[in-house]
Amino acid sequence: MNGVSGRMGYRQHLVRSILAIREQGGVLLSDGTRVQVEPILVGRSEAKLAELAARHDIEHYTTNLDEALADPRWEIYSDFLVTSARSAAIRKAIAAGKAIYTEKPTAESFEESLELARLASEAGIKNGVVHDKLYLPGLQKLKRLIDSGFFGEILSVRGEFGYWVFEGDWQPAQRPSWNYRSEDGGGIVVDMFPHWSYVLENLFGRVESVYARTATHIPTRVDENGDAYAATADDSAYAVFELEGGIVAQLNSSWVVRVNRDELVEFQVDGTLGSAVVGLFGAKVQPRVATPKPVWNPDLADSHDYSSDWMELPTNDVFENGFKTQWEQFIRHVVEDAPHEYDFLAGARGMLLAEAGLESSRTGRRIDLAPLDESALMSPEPEGAEVTDAAPDAASDHSSSVLSPAGV
């Protein structure tokens, strides 16, 4: 486990996932037996690792990644490092023939993330990328609504993600400062579009194009040492995604917004037969037959309580921590070849979408995305993204390929 001293590595992956799995006696396999996990903590600071190991009764830790990778006792390499340090470590783990499970984004660029997918495929190793948002209770409820046919034809998705991240001067920031420096792998597009990629493709359909406008609304922030720094990365992104089947998804991602919703992320899905609003936990619906008939009248204050027109869905299932659930799936994938489809290629699609979003914002143009499937693992020059003008009459102008050098 590389990077366990970090925010995600410690809380979600070590404590909530691997230690919880160890505590419950391991991962249940299809034959009714259990496979137990034994972690080794890897990091740069021996003192920090020793403290974590003692705190959680963990026998193994090391500052030498190469040695750990060379040791056949350790079967899965997992990575929660800062994004900029990830691909070098993953390349080593691929060369060592380990199964690999990693945080997103898999690399800092689409080209590198696709290269990692290719290398992993060539090496024949099992590989997985965190898709945690799909495991949120609210999104699980949404999936159930979609599968039930509740929506009829889905027309649109609108999503709001975000909250105010303090600038760091009069109150410490609640996210690491590297998030706000593009030279260190930061930026909300690179952080959130990989999530939007797998959320959209798994719930609604393939992302066919993106138009995005990013902004760095707060140009100067204060870091962990109290020093002011230039925020070079985007802290907000306003994007429209066109999906397979004609669904339009409009998602705002922002660290510069004050929350006026029930949860830090919320999606509204409108369909011909009904609508839903889901968050991390909650989900409420309004079917077609219970839809009120508002009439626009600016002369009269509207006394109708629109929020009372929605019905909260019950929580019929016990939802475990999503990181843990996905870890268990991945371990079953490694041990007994059970399915786990969220692989490095899905991770590469996440970075493709992030780069397309950034490109769209730079050029002011909509970026079309060609499918990125298994065939991309074979060919060094896959089909990829190309630019079209947003105006319909210019949509046939596919001349300039923007995401080089893979031509994507």
State the Cα–Cα distance between residues 102 and 100, nearest whole angstrom: 6
By CB under 6 A, which span of 5-13, 160-168, 198-206, 280-288 interacts with ligand NAD? Answer: 5-13
Range 244-259 burial, b when 16+ CB lie within 10 A, else e: eeebebebebbbbbee
Minimum distance of ligand NAD from residue 397's CB (angstroms): 35
Give the one residue of 5, 109, 315, 321 binding ligand NAD; rule: CB under 6 A. Answer: 5
Among residues 283 and 351, whose Cβ is nearest to ligand NAD?
A: 351
Tokens 């990013």 — which residue?
Answer: 214
State the Cα–Cα distance between residues 35 and 21, nearest whole angstrom: 10
Minimum distance of ligand NAD from residue 238's CB (angstroms): 21
By CB under 6 A, which span of 3-11, 247-255, 328-336, 343-351 interacts with ligand NAD? Answer: 3-11
Contact present, 4 and 41 (Cβ < 8 Å)? yes
Minimum distance of ligand NAD from residue 333's CB (angstroms): 19
| Residue 350 Rama label (left phi>0; alpha psi -120 to 50; beta) | alpha
For residue 5, the tally of other CB atoms under 10 A from its CB is: 16
Minimum distance of ligand NAD from residue 7's CB (angstroms): 3
Applying CB under 6 A, the site for ligand NAD has a residue count of: 19
Which backbone phi and psi does 304 adopt, to 5 degrees? -70, 135
Residues listed for the chain? 408
Which residue pairs, CB below 8 angstroms and at least 24 apart, start in 85-91? 85/3, 87/112, 87/113, 87/116, 89/2, 89/65, 90/116, 91/116, 91/119
Q: What is the CA radius of gyration of the chain?
A: 22
Rule CB under 6 A: which of 102-121 touch ligand NAD? 103-104
By CB under 6 A, which span of 4-12, 234-242, 380-388, 400-408 interacts with ligand NAD? Answer: 4-12
Q: Is 348 in the site for ligand NAD (CB under 6 A)?
A: no
Query: x-or-dash pattern for ligand NAD, window 54-83, by CB under 6 A?
Result: --------------------------xxxx
Rule CB under 6 A: which of 250-289 touch ligand NAD? none
By CB under 6 A, which span of 2-10, 213-221, 240-248, 272-280 interacts with ligand NAD? Answer: 2-10
Q: Is 130 in the site for ligand NAD (CB under 6 A)?
A: yes
Contact present, 236 and 162 (Cβ < 8 Å)? yes
Which residues lie below 8 Å from residue 307, measured CB to CB, with a gap of 6+? none
Pairing of β 207-215 and β 99-102:
unpaired
**HEC string of 96-157?**
CCCEEEECCCCCCCHHHHHHHHHHHHHHCCCEEECCHHHHCHHHHHHHHHHHHCCCCCEEEE
State the Cα–Cα distance between residues 353 and 358, nearest whole angstrom: 9
Give the one residue of 25, 33, 44, 67 binding ligand NAD; rule: CB under 6 A. Answer: 44
Give the one residue of 9, 159, 187, 322 binding ligand NAD; rule: CB under 6 A. Answer: 9
Among residues 6 and 382, whose Cβ is nearest to ligand NAD?
A: 6
State the Cα–Cα distance between residues 9 and 5, nearest whole angstrom: 6
Cα 143 to chain centroid, rounded = 17
Minimum distance of ligand NAD from residue 179's CB (angstroms): 7
- Residue 277's identity, in one-letter code, is V
Give the one residue of 35, 75, 163, 176 binding ligand NAD; rule: CB under 6 A. Answer: 176
Among residues 7 and 398, whose Cβ is nearest to ligand NAD?
A: 7
Among residues 154 and 192, whose Cβ is nearest to ligand NAD?
A: 192
Angle of helix 188-203 versus helix 344-363 axis, rounded to 10: 120
Give the one residue of 19, 20, 53, 85 binding ligand NAD; rule: CB under 6 A. Answer: 85
Among residues 106 and 121, whose Cβ is nearest to ligand NAD?
A: 106
State the Cα–Cα distance between residues 244 and 272, nearest whole angstrom: 17
Q: Is 165 in the site for ligand NAD (CB under 6 A)?
A: no
Rule CB under 6 A: which of 183-242 touch ligand NAD? 191
Q: Which residue is nearest to ligand NAD (CB)?
A: 6
Among residues 79 and 111, whose Cβ is nearest to ligand NAD?
A: 79
Minimum distance of ligand NAD from residue 104's CB (angstroms): 6
Among residues 159 and 382, whose Cβ is nearest to ligand NAD?
A: 159
Residues at the contact surface with ligand NAD, assessed by CB under 6 A: 3, 5-9, 43-44, 80-83, 85, 103-104, 130, 132, 176, 191
